[in-house]
Structure formats: structure tokens, C-alpha cells
């Protein structure tokens, strides 16, 4: 008996073991790929190079006497310039590209909550508000503020603490973010997703230049929004008096000035109605604004600008006012959505730890109804084709999950069959395998 032959791994077993490993590798790869398609959420693109020269060209239809659009607009990844009244887009670049929107998202926060939050109602800051990351207006835990104070803190210095406070005053972050997403759908900003009320970078949070312009155009229908956006300087409530501080002679709660971050307004650019700046590491520089000159109102947005948004927007707006009648529109914004009935609901009053103060259930219930109304209204305005598409999308993921599970079941059964076959092949005696091998070799020798 050949000892080497008797101790070697049986040929049948080797063949099935190799096939099983290959099959397992192929099937597991397919399963992983399919699962990734199902599970992985869409995300906005990460920040890219400063010079977006590789991006799509600017879209503009110049008439015979029209001036070319300023070359500096090539240093923006995405923008839209539109007539606020007609919605006609005068010029644009990659308008539907999904990108992080930074603090321009705060316009959606205001658009969602302003129509029903009483600006004169009282809100008490929480630790969550005070601890907000990034830019702050100065909201302190336990201190009282009017809702109007919070909107100035939100839209002027872009306070993330004010954004948190407004969301909490509106019944909580979860309720407010759901209402923000419903409001975006309602006004036609269908490529916008909110994950927080401030615009701080978060996975899956994004918008487009067309959507930002659409949201701002709708917000302009709210008088309180336009009034707040037009303010350069505001006296914001200071920290409350601390009676236990023996080293302080302060007996009256004072104020301190906060300033707008919109340099078009701050530097008196002609006709500026207001604008909202934004900047994060992922979004880069973003900006959305409206300006009125000579009876015409233009609204615009910039996303991921590689140069000063003040300079770029002033160039774009100046060109727009000079050439609006000399170009053919290249697109249009969605129609301005009909306003929901205005309400005057009290903000939820919270303790410093975020729990509601006593007797707040009525305010919480009223705000829940108001926010839910936005979701219902958004659903009612969905067209049949959009609804069908949504249903198909809703059904598609379960189908993929079932397909993934089916592939996994097939893989397990296939491997089980292979291993059983391999064990049966290895159950023969070594001598028999030795004889078979010799017979096999003999036939090939002759």
C-alpha cells in the first residue's frame, strides 16, 4: 500500500471542498452587494476641490444684447438665479445636485415653524440648547426668551443653539424634523432632507440649489420672516441674573447685540431683502438670498462656493437685474405653495433638563396637531404619479430584503449538499482509492 496515497486528501473531497469554497465566495459576495444596495443610505457628496472647473457648464440662454454671465460663477459647484414672482430661472448650474446645505437649512426651520409659533410666547433654554456645537446666539439653560428672540438668533448670527431651542419650543426635535421634511415636500423641494434643525453636517442631510431657492421663495411669503431677515443688529437677552454670585453687582438682566451674518445686507448692497449664509467642512460655503431693484425681485442660491459668497452673489444679482429681459429662461421653480392657515400657538415651556414644565400638555398637543397638519397637507398634494413612484419605492426594499434572504438560504443549502457529498466521498477505504488511482494512471500510460 502506498502510504502517501493512503494519507492524502481524497480527490472527490478535494474537488467538492474547492467548489464549495468558490461557491461560498461568489454567493456571499452577491449577498453582501445586494444587502449594501438595500441598507446603504444615500448621502450628499463630500467636499471637493476648491476650483470646480470640472463641473457642468453654466446654463443660460443669452439674447442678442445680453451680457455674458460673470466668469467667477464658474467657481461655484451649483447655483440658481430666478425671478421671485414668476419663478423663471434666468441662469443655473447643476441645480439638482444633492449637496450638504449647512446653515441655509435654518430657512426651512423658520418656514416650518413660524406660521404657528406665537412670537411673543415664552421659552426657557435647555442644556441641550446651550451645548449646541458651532455658532451660537447665546441661549442659556434655564433662561427665558421670547420666540421672536430665538428667530433673530436663528437667522441673524446663525445660532445653532437658537435652532435647537426653536425645535424644542415646537414640541421637540423629532417632531420638528419630521415637520421640516414634510414642509420641504409640500413646497416642492423634493430633493431636500433634514436630519437636524441647524444644518450641522449629518449623514444623509442634503439639499439642492433649486430646492434652497424654492424654500427661500416660499419663506418670503411670511411677513415675520422678511422682517427678521432685514434686521442688521438686534439686542439679544443676556444671561439671567445670578443672585448667588456675591462677586457680581448685576441686578438687572441686560442684553447684548447680535449681528446678521449676511454681508449683502450688512454692507448695504442695493435692494437686499435678506439672506442666509452657511458653512461647514462638508458643505463649504453656501448662501441663499433675495434682492429687489426697480420693481423686480430676484432670488438665488449658491452651494459649495470656492470664493466669497458676498462677491459671487453681488456679481450674479447685478448681472441678473441688467439682463433679466435679455435672456430666455432655462427652467422654472415650483409654484409657490398655498399657505397653511396661520396660528398663534404657545411654545412649549421646558425645564433646563428638557422636561416640560407643569401644565404644558395642552401646548404640546396643540403643536403636535399643527405639525401633523403639515405632513397631511404634503401627502394630499402628492400627485398620482409621485404616489405610485413612492409605493414602488416602498415595495422595492422589502423585495430586495426577500431576495437577499433567498440567496442566503440557497447558499446554505448548497454548501450543505456539497459538504454531505464530500463526506460520502471521503468515506471509502484508502486501499480502494489507491487501486482506483493506479487503474486511472495505467489507462493513461497506455
Residue 1 in this model has a pLDDT that exceeds 60: no
Q: Which of 186-190, 376-380, 421-425 has the lowest mean pLDDT?
A: 376-380
| CA-angle at 35, arms to 34 and 39, nearest 5° | 125
Grid cell in block for residue 320 = 441678473
Q: How many CB atoms lie within 10 A of CB 245?
A: 9
| Residue with more model confidence, 159 or 427 | 159
Residue-averaged pLDDT of the chain: 83
How many alpha carbons fall within 13 Å on the CB side of residue 139?
39
Average pLDDT for 54-76: 92
Q: Is the pLDDT of residue 329 over 70?
A: yes
Q: Are the CB atoms for 271 and 292 separated by under 8 Å?
A: yes
> Is pLDDT at 430 greater than 90 in this prediction?
no
Question: Taking 50 as the threshold, does the pLDDT of residue 54 lie above it?
Answer: yes
* Tens of pLDDT, residues 305-326: 999 999 999 999 999 999 999 9
pLDDT of residue 40: 45
pLDDT of residue 244: 74
Return the CATH superfamily for domain 61-381: DD-peptidase/beta-lactamase superfamily (3.40.710.10)
| 361-380 vs 173-186: helix crossing angle, rounded to 10 | 30
Task: Tell me what pLDDT residue 417 has.
Answer: 66
Cell digits of residue 361: 400638555
Backbone angles phi, psi at 206, to 5 degrees: -160, 170
The residues facing 303 across adjacent strands are 78, 286
pLDDT in tens, 249-293: 777 899 999 999 999 999 999 999 999 999 999 999 999 999 999
Extended strands (E) in 326-367: 327-328, 331-332
The yes-or-no verdict on residue 435 having pLDDT over 50 is: no
Q: Tell me, what's the pLDDT at 298?
A: 98
The set of cell numbers assigned to 413 is 443549502
Kindly indicate the confidence band of residue 180, based on its pLDDT and cuts at 50, 70 and 90.
very high
SS3 119: coil
User: Of the given ranges (50-59, 269-278, 428-437), which has the lowest mean pLDDT?
Assistant: 428-437
Mean predicted confidence (pLDDT) in 176-197: 98
Task: Residue 397: count other Cβ atoms within 10 Å of its Cβ.
Answer: 12
Question: Nine-digit cell at 37?
Answer: 444596495
366-380 pLDDT, tens digit per residue, is 999 999 877 666 555
Q: What is the rounded end-to-end Cα distance, in angstroms, of the chain?
A: 23
Mean pLDDT for 23-28 is 59
**Per-residue pLDDT at 155:** 98
The predicted pLDDT at position 26 comes to: 59
Rounded percentage of the chain residues whose pLDDT exceeds 70: 71
129-176 pLDDT per residue, tens: 999 999 999 999 999 999 999 999 999 999 999 999 999 999 999 999
C-alpha span between 357 and 194 (Å, rounded): 28
Amino acid at each position: 500500500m502506498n502510504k502517501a496515497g493512503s494519507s492524502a486528501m481524497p480527490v472527490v473531497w478535494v474537488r467538492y471542498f474547492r467548489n464549495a469554497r468558490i461557491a461560498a465566495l461568489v454567493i456571499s459576495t452577491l449577498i453582501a452587494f445586494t444587502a449594501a444596495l438595500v441598507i446603504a443610505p444615500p448621502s450628499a457628496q463630500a467636499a471637493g476641490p476648491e476650483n470646480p472647473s470640472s463641473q457642468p457648464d453654466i446654463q443660460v440662454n443669452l439674447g442678442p444684447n445680453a451680457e455674458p454671465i460673470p466668469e467667477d460663477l464658474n467657481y461655484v459647484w451649483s447655483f440658481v438665479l430666478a425671478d421671485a414672482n414668476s419663478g423663471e430661472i434666468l441662469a443655473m448650474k447643476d441645480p439638482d445636485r444633492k449637496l450638504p446645505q449647512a446653515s441655509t437649512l435654518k430657512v426651512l426651520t423658520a418656514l416650518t415653524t413660524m406660521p404657528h409659533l406665537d412670537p411673543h410666547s415664552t421659552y426657557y433654554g435647555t442644556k441641550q440648547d446651550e451645548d449646541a456645537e458651532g455658532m451660537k446666539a447665546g441661549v442659556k439653560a434655564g433662561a427665558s426668551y421670547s420666540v421672536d428672540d430665538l428667530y433673530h438668533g436663528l437667522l441673524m448670527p446663525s445660532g445653532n443653539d437658537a435652532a435647537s431651542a426653536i425645535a424644542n419650543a415646537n414640541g421637540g426635535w423629532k417632531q420638528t424634523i419630521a415637520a421640516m421634511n414634510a414642509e420641504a415636500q409640500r413646497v416642492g423641494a423634493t430633493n431636500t432632507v433634514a436630519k437636524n434643525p441647524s444644518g450641522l453636517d449629518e449623514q444623509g442631510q442634503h439639499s439642492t440649489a433649486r430646492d434652497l431657492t424654492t424654500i427661500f421663495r416660499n419663506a418670503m411669503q411670511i411677513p415675520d420672516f422678511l422682517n427678521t431677515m432685514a434686521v442688521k443688529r438686534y439686542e439679544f437677552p443676556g444671561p439671567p441674573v445670578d443672585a448667588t454670585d456675591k462677586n457680581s453687582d448685576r441686578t438687572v438682566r441686560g442684553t447684548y447685540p447680535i449681528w446678521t451674518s449676511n454681508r449683502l445686507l450688512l454692507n448695504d448692497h442695493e435692494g437686499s431683502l435678506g439672506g442666509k449664509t452657511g458653512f461647514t467642512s462638508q458643505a463649504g460655503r453656501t448662501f441663499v438670498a433675495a434682492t429687489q431693484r426697480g420693481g423686480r425681485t430676484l432670488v438665488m442660491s449658491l452651494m459649495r462656493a470656492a470664493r466669497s459668497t458676498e462677491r459671487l452673489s453681488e456679481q450674479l444679482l447685478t448681472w441678473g437685474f441688467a439682463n433679466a429681459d435679455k435672456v430666455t429662461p432655462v427652467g422654472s421653480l415650483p409654484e409657490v405653495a398655498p399657505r397653511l392657515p396661520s396660528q398663534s400657538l404657545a411654545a412649549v415651556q421646558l425645564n433646563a433638563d428638557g422636561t416640560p414644565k407643569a401644565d404644558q400638555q395642552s401646548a404640546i398637543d396643540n403643536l403636535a396637531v399643527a405639525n401633523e397638519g403639515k405632513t397631511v397637507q404634503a401627502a394630499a398634494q402628492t400627485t398620482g404619479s409621485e404616489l405610485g413612484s413612492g409605493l414602488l419605492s416602498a415595495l422595492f426594499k422589502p423585495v430586495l430584503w426577500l431576495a437577499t434572504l433567498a440567496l442566503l438560504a440557497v447558499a446554505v443549502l448548497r454548501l450543505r449538499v456539497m459538504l454531505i457529498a464530500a463526506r460520502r466521498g471521503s468515506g471509502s477505504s484508502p486501499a480502494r482509492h489507491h487501486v482506483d488511482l493506479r487503474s486511472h494512471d495505467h489507462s493513461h500510460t497506455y
